[in-house]
Amino acid sequence: MTQINWFPGHMHKARKEIAEVMDEVDVVIEVLDARLPYSSENPLVERLRKGKPVIKVLNKADLADPARTAQWLDYFNAQEGISAFALDTSQKKQVQKIPQWCKDAVPARSRAGRPVRAMIMGIPNVGKSTLINALLGRKIAKVGNEPAVTRSQKRYSVHNGMALSDTPGILWPKIDDIDSGYRLAASGAIKDTAIEHQLVAAFAANFMLGDYPQRLLERYKLSDLPAGAEALLDQIGRKRGCLRPGGVVDLHKAAEILLTELRSGKLGPLTFETVAEWERKRAEAALAAQAELERAALEASSGESKEK
């Protein structure tokens, strides 16, 4: 698969802005996409937060697989200095709990009667602006379906004991894990222009065939599961009338249908990744790193022997 690399220039500026104001922040609210909690994390948050407590909000929980969301909450809550919660911003009562979560993270400041200064962070299109508007009870932050709508830092005031600042959505310069890149693209976090649409749809098709096959049968009224992504897109195209002259399926239109319905939740609540998968990947990466160290040491030792 093609490596996805997407890092708009204004995001470099955002990183510098965050580093400059972090000393004035008490707690970081990191908004994640509940459908891809690990892939939508930003490694820069850990580097920039300077030991400040982090509240990880698994947003769009209504679109995510509840069982997998529960596993991810357990995973994050087991980490020091981190509290994790699932959230659906359309549920006002859930949103109204966030100021208290922030106060609980820094009780000394809250007891002193001082407002808790929270910075909201997250990669593009995870719902930061929607969350800010829900917290404030009015539309202030710009909301859009396209990633990277927010372009500069803004400060807001929440009257129930919390002062909130917003930051631009930021992605890291290089997405090291290929699967993460495609998951981000499939969810809509990366602009569709960054990679061939049909490649993303093929990834999404293979994912659905492997993890949620029954959803495909029901949604597209298929009699049986096709063998592979292209065959699935072909069947979707035929079911939805995406035909060119001669009865050839327009795979681009079929790809658009699959991605649009996956992103909107019409294929049901789903989560692209599991805790177990990432634990396996980290273990494999550690073994690979150890093997590389041993290889380098062996080469160095061999070079020294030859010199003697």
pLDDT in tens, 249-291: 999 999 999 999 999 999 999 999 999 998 998 888 888 888 8
Residues of the chain under the 50 pLDDT cut: 143-152, 173
> How much is the pLDDT for 307?
62
pLDDT at 252: 93
Give me the architecture of the 196-264 domain, per CATH. Orthogonal Bundle (1.10)
Q: Where are the domains of the chain?
A: 9-166, 196-264
Beta strand 162-166 with 243-244: parallel, antiparallel or unpaired? unpaired
Rounded CA-CA distance 74/143 in Å is 30
- Do 9-166 and 196-264 fold alike per CATH? no
Q: What is the pTM of this model?
A: 0.84
Q: How far is it, in rounded angstroms, from Cα 205 to Cα 211?
A: 10
Q: How confident is the model at residue 167, as a pLDDT?
A: 72
CATH architecture for residues 9-166: 3-Layer(aba) Sandwich (3.40)
Residue 152 confidence (pLDDT): 47
